[in-house]
Amino acid sequence: MKKTIFFVALLFISAASFGQILKPVKWSYASKKINDKEAVLLLKATIDDGWHIYSQTVPKNGPQPTSFSFQSSKAYQLSGKVIAAKPIVKHDPTFDMEVGYYKKSVVFQQKIKLTGNAPTVKGTLTYMVCNDKQCLPPEELTFSIAVK
């Protein structure tokens, strides 16, 4: 009986150690007021060593680009498009094409015009993360950024 209990416990411990979920990208959010009428939203991806996420523009039939969707609100209006630093562009053997991507970290910025007091900007972002051995399925996250 003791051997059976020990075996079952060992089985659960080993299964738990193999069932770890990979999360190689951590997102953080902030805002910065430019003046009383404008602010910029900062969406930062911190990427584990050996991994990368793709830029906002990739060729057709390529990987999932990083994209952003903002909920509409009477308290703010989007001003222009989401911008980021210039990506690294190289041939990706997984997709057999030239693609832009980011390693280590990248900050995406979205300017907004303030039409109300202290809005909270909500939305979703979608991204795909890969390393030289595998790509994880695209992930969609919700975010909420207070503008103070």
pLDDT of the residue at 20:
63
Mean pLDDT of the chain: 88
Tally Cβ neighbours within 10 Å of residue 123.
19
Of 76 and 12, the one with more pLDDT = 76
**Which residue ranges form the domains of the chain, and what is each CATH number?**
23-146 (2.60.40.1250)
Task: Print burial letters for 99-110: b (CB count within 10 Å at least 16), e (below 16).
Answer: bbbbeeebebbb
pTM of the model: 0.85
**3: helix, coil or strand?**
helix
Tens digit of pLDDT for each residue in 45-93? Answer: 999 999 999 999 999 999 999 999 999 999 999 999 999 999 999 998 8
Distance from C-alpha of 50 to C-alpha of 31, rounded to nearest angstrom: 29
